[in-house]
Amino acid sequence: MEKEHGVNDKVTNTMIEKNTTTDTKMIDTEIIQIDPQAIDQAQIDRAGEILKRGGLVAFPTETVYGLGGDATNPGASKAIYAAKGRPSDNPLIVHITNMADLEQIVAEVPQAAYTLAEHFWPGPLTMIFRKNEKIPYETTGGMDTVAVRMPSDPIARALIDASTGYIAAPSANTSGRPSPTQASHVEEDLGGRIDMIVDGGPVGIGLESTIVDLTEQVPMILRPGYITQQMLRDALEQEVPVDPGLIAADSDRKPKAPGMKYRHYAPHADLKVVEGATDAVVAEINRRCEQLIAGHQRVGIIATEETKDLYTKGTVISIGARDDEEAIARHLYGILRDFDTMGVDAIFSESFAAAGIGQAIMNRLLKAAGHQVLEV
> CATH number, domain at 157?
3.90.870.10
In three-state form (DSSP H/G/I as H, E/B as E, the rest C), the secondary structure along 327-355 is HHHHHHHHHHHHHHHHCCCEEEEECCCCC
Q: Look at residue 264 in the predicted model and tell me its pLDDT.
A: 73
| DSSP per-residue letters across 363-374 | HHHHHHTTT-EE
204: number of Cβ within 10 Å? 17
202 and 102, same structural domain? yes
Closest CA to 69 of 121, 139, 157: 139
338 and 220, same structural domain? no
**Which residues neighbour 159 within 8 Å (Cβ) at sequence distance 6 or greater?**
44, 47, 48, 51, 57, 59, 68, 167, 198
Phi–psi pair at 71, nearest 5 degrees: -65, -20
Amino acid letter, residue 110 = P
Does a structural domain hold residue 4?
no
The rounded average pLDDT for each run of 10 residues, N- to C-terminus, in the chain (376 residues) is 38 30 72 98 98 98 98 98 94 98 98 98 98 98 97 98 98 96 98 98 98 97 97 98 75 54 80 98 98 98 98 97 96 98 98 92 95 96
Q: Look at residue 108 in the predicted model and tell me its pLDDT.
A: 97
Give the domain-ending residue among 207, 240, 261: 261
Does a structural domain hold residue 329?
yes
Give the domain-ending residue among 261, 285, 306: 261
In what side-by-side order are the strands of the sheet with 210-213? 30-33, 196-199, 57-59, 66-70, 167-168, 93-95, 145-149, 125-130, 210-213, 220-223
Burial of 37 (0-12, 13-18, 19+ CB in 10 A): exposed
201 and 81, same structural domain? yes
Q: What does the DSSP 8-state code read for residue 133?
A: T
Give the domain-ending residue among 233, 261, 289: 261
235-254 burial by CB neighbour count: b if 16+ within 10 A, else e? bbeeebeebebbeebeeeee
Binning the chain into helix, strand and coil, the percentages to the nearest 5 are 35, 20, 45
Q: Look at residue 18 in the predicted model and tell me its pLDDT.
A: 32
224 and 307, same structural domain? no
108 and 59, same structural domain? yes
Domain enclosing residue 340, as ranges = 270-375
Distance CA 368, CA 273 (A): 10
194 and 342, same structural domain? no
Closest CA to 146 of 160, 158, 161, 132: 132
Does a structural domain hold residue 175?
yes
157, 34 Cβ separation under 8 angstroms: no
286, 198 Cβ separation under 8 angstroms: no
Closest CA to 61 of 225, 181, 185, 210: 181
198 and 325, same structural domain? no
**154-162 and 41-52 helices, crossing angle to 10°:** 50
5: number of Cβ within 10 Å? 11
Q: Look at residue 246 in the predicted model and tell me its pLDDT.
A: 80
Measured between alpha carbons, how far is residue 322 from residues 167, 226, 350, 358, 364 in Å? 36, 16, 10, 10, 17
Q: How many domains does the chain have?
A: 2
Q: Look at residue 16 in the predicted model and tell me its pLDDT.
A: 26
Q: Look at residue 183 in the predicted model and tell me its pLDDT.
A: 98
Q: In whole angstroms, what separates CA 232 from the centre of its chain?
A: 20
340 and 223, same structural domain? no
**Which residues neighbour 200 within 8 Å (Cβ) at sequence distance 6 or greater?**
33, 34, 35, 36, 59, 60, 153, 155, 183
Does a structural domain hold residue 2?
no
Does a structural domain hold residue 99?
yes
Closest CA to 22 of 70, 86, 90: 86
